[in-house]
Amino acid sequence: MNHSTTRWIPRDGVKPVRIAIINRGEAAVRFMRTARVWSRRNAQPVELIAFYTDPDARAPFVQMADTAVALGDPFMIDASGARVSSYLDVEGLVSKCSELGVDAVWPGWGFLGESADLSDACKDAGIKFIGPPGGVMRLLGDKIRSKAFAEEHKVPVSPWSGRAIEDPEEARVMAEKIGFPLILKAAAGGGGRGMRVVHSEAALLNAVYVTQSEAKAAFGDDTVYIEKFLENPRHVEIQGLADGQGNAIHLGDRDCSLQRRHQKVLEEAPAPGIPDDVRNEVAMSCVEACKTLNYRGAGTFEFLYEDGQFFFIEMNTRIQVEHPVSEMVTGVDLIKEQLKIAGGEPLSLRQEDIVVSGHAFECRINAEDPKTFMPCPGNIKHFHAPGGLGVRVDSHLYSGYTVPPHYDSMIAKIITWGDDRESALSRMRTALDELVVDGIRTNTELHRDLVRDNAFAKGGVSIHYLEKKLKI
């Protein structure tokens, strides 16, 4: 039987399904909540297994788990001698899962969320990976191969070199075809690293050498390519869902343009001001690409949008931090759909079943200094989450919890929904005013400012807007 359709859910509904969460914090809590509901709705017992390091010993996800497995120190030494997070130990974690008789692994986002090695290791161990096959993840994780795939399958891309650039002379020839300004990108880059904007042929030669050297040092791979640089784009993404059995749908788009140093700060769905015909055409091209790939699970196509056109950036082969805004406007629980797909079920939703209703925002609350943006871990003296109609809070905080210094600084997501954009934005203003996090500094004040910003209120700001506003 094809691996993508192998059932791991017992047909008799008696034996508990053992699911290991290889993640922490809010992500782990988010999964557990849906898994419990899924278990009750399907009369299928579930046993949730959490792995945790010493700093997370008192974290809510550890207490919520049926079985909690201590990993000890937050860091480990890998085979290369590098010091890495214990949540990244593929071999050790899969070995523990095998010992525990785990049926499936959920990686979430961050850490091993896009690890093809984890997907392959789970397959080799006879454990279902709740996500795409490793081969698909590798293809889409390769920026050159994924861009070529997108172009081949009618997903719109910006003018680019079409392949890796081997030397400066080749770069010059390609630059003449593409036109300045252009951007050099490391094929193995990510998180805004390994990129260099070039405005003239005179600067191109040195830019190629420098970008290749930086890529080699940062990623161990000096492969670079060229694409057209867009001066003032927005960041818009399409949420996809596919079952690996030939069925795929999209759940509309999200605008993630409010960013600081390539890190998302605030998201919304749907993206404002985009013509429906343009939006629908690119979304359906993503659906067809998922079918061609035989993609399995949730995935996100990321685009730059400028002058009425979409240009493909990459595809993230995991569920995203900002997925709640898509859930709020469609009513679809993406985690539940991940579980059903991983269990071998075909998609129960058709494209015509997906109706985008109203508008939603998400503010990422980080434990960081609101001016310097330096992480601010420490003890939470008092935490009060906002509430009311159309307000959702995804968090792992509680009064007395200590935010550890070892991990990402995000501590909560405030999500609001309204019948229209202004209603959702008004609810977000109220929710942020109600939020209380005492004991540490957070970026709440930044969000309170952003949701009252006149330009943002109009909709459609570019990816450069926030940094210009902050003068960084």
Distance CA(359)–CA(448), nearest Å, equals: 18
403 close to 377: Cβ distance less than 8 angstroms: yes
- CA 347 to chain CA centroid, Å, is 21
Distance CA(273)–CA(44), nearest Å, equals: 44
Q: Catalytic site residue 318?
A: yes
9 close to 17: Cβ distance less than 8 angstroms: yes
* Token pair 């509901």 in the structure block, residue: 37
- Of 25, 28, 56, nearest to 366 (Cα)? 25
Residue type, 356: V
Distance CA(337)–CA(334), nearest Å, equals: 5
- Of 260, 140, 127, nearest to 192 (Cα)? 260
Tokens coding 290: 């998922």
222 close to 189: Cβ distance less than 8 angstroms: no
Sign of the four-CA dihedral 366, 370, 373, 375: negative
Among residues 18, 196, 296, 318, which one is catalytic? 318
Tokens coding 84: 């890495």
Burial class of 125 by CB neighbour count within 10 A (0 to 12, 13 to 18, 19+)? middle
Tokens coding 202: 């005179």
Q: Strands of 207-285 (E only): list them.
A: 224-228, 234-243, 248-260, 263-269
Active site residues: 318
